[in-house]
C-alpha cells in the first residue's frame, strides 16, 4: 500500500484561513481534517450582549454573504421569541437572500475558482490559451464582465435593505422596509439586466428556460454541443475544458449526494 500525507496551510481563497490535512492510501482519501486557524472572536464579542446585537454584528462576519448571517440572526430571534412574520416580510427576506446568492455565484466562480484553471500545470491542454484569455485574474474577458455584473443583484438588496453589504434591515417579526411600486419595478429591471447581459449572454449562451430543460448529465453534454452559442458560453467552455484536463476524474465520492437547490 502506498500512503501519502498532505498538509496544505492555508488553503487558498476561502473566507478566512483554513488548514487541511489529508491521508491518501493507494490514491484514495481515507482521512481528512480541516482546521479554521483564524479566530476572529465574534462569539466573544456577542457574549453577554442584547440578543438583537447579532443583527448588527453578525452581518460583519463576511463581505460576500453578510446577508445570510443577518437572515439567520433574525430567524433565531423569531424562533426564540415566537414572533409572527407577515407574508410580505418573508417574501422580502427571501428575495434579498436570493439576490445575495446570485451575486456570489459569478464572484465565486471567476474570482475564487476559475483563476486556478489558468495555472501553468494545465498548459498542455489545447484549450489552455482560451482559459487564460477568459479567466486570468483581473484581465480575463469573462473575469472582468462576470465580477463587474455580479454587483447588479445586490443593488436590489440595497433597495429593500437600505444598503449592501452589512445591512441590518431584518428584525424580529419582519423587515424595516416597505417597498413601493417604483422599488419593485426598478428591481425587476435590474435583475433583467443581469440576466440578459451575463447569465444568458455570457454564462449560458441560451435562455434560462432552455437550461432548465436539462435533467441529467447526458442532457448537459448534449446541451454543450447543441449550438455554437452554448458551446462557446462560459459554462459550455468550462465543461469542455474540465473534461479535457481530467477534472471529471478527481474527487469522486460515494455518489450519494443531496441537492437542495
**Domain boundaries along the sequence of the chain:** 1-39, 41-249
Report d(CA 191, CA 117) in Å as an integer: 29
At residue 258, the pLDDT reads 77
Question: For the residues 126-146, what does the mean pLDDT come to?
Answer: 97
Helix 87-106 to helix 141-149 angle (10° resolution) is: 160
Question: For the residues 113-140, what does the mean pLDDT come to?
Answer: 97
pLDDT at residue 191 tops 90: yes
Q: Which residues make Cβ contacts (< 8 Å) with residue 111, sequence separation at least 6?
A: 13, 137, 143, 147
At residue 40, the pLDDT reads 83
Assigned CATH for 41-249: 1.10.645.10
Task: Encode pLDDT of 209-220 as tens digits.
Answer: 999 999 999 999
- Of 15 and 51, which is predicted with more confidence? 51
At residue 261, the pLDDT reads 58
Average pLDDT, the chain: 93
Conformation bin of residue 82: beta by default, left when phi > 0, alpha when psi is -120 to 50: left
At residue 257, the pLDDT reads 75
Question: For the residues 236-244, what does the mean pLDDT come to?
Answer: 98
Task: Encode pLDDT of 61-102 as tens digits.
Answer: 888 899 999 999 999 999 999 999 999 999 999 999 999 999
Amino acid at each position: 500500500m502506498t500512503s501519502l500525507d498532505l498538509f496544505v496551510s492555508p488553503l487558498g481563497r476561502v473566507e478566512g484561513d483554513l488548514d487541511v490535512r489529508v491521508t491518501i492510501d493507494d490514491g484514495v482519501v481515507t482521512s481528512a481534517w480541516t482546521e479554521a486557524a483564524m479566530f476572529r472572536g465574534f462569539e466573544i464579542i456577542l457574549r453577554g450582549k442584547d440578543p438583537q446585537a447579532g443583527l448588527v454584528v453578525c452581518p460583519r462576519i463576511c463581505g460576500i454573504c453578510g446577508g445570510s448571517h443577518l437572515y439567520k440572526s433574525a430567524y433565531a430571534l423569531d424562533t426564540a421569541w415566537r414572533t409572527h412574520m407577515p407574508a410580505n416580510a418573508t417574501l422580502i427576506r427571501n428575495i434579498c437572500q436570493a439576490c445575495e446568492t446570485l451575486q456570489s455565484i459569478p464572484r465565486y466562480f471567476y474570482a475564487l475558482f476559475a483563476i486556478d484553471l489558468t495555472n501553468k500545470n494545465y498548459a498542455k491542454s489545447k484549450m489552455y490559451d482560451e482559459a487564460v484569455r477568459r479567466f486570468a485574474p483581473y484581465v480575463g474577458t469573462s473575469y472582468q464582465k462576470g465580477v463587474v455584473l455580479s454587483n447588479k443583484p445586490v443593488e436590489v438588496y440595497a433597495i429593500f435593505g437600505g444598503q449592501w453589504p452589512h445591512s441590518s434591515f431584518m428584525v424580529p417579526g419582519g423587515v424595516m422596509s416597505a417597498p413601493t411600486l417604483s422599488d419593485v419595478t426598478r428591481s425587476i429591471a435590474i435583475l433583467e439586466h443581469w440576466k440578459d447581459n451575463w447569465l444568458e449572454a455570457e454564462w449560458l449562451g441560451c435562455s434560462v428556460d432552455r437550461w432548465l430543460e436539462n435533467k441529467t448529465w447526458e442532457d448537459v453534454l448534449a446541451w454543450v454541443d447543441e449550438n455554437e452559442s452554448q458551446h462557446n458560453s462560459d459554462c459550455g467552455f468550462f465543461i469542455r475544458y474540465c473534461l479535457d484536463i481530467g477534472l471529471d476524474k478527481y474527487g469522486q465520492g460515494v455518489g450519494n449526494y443531496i441537492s437542495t437547490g
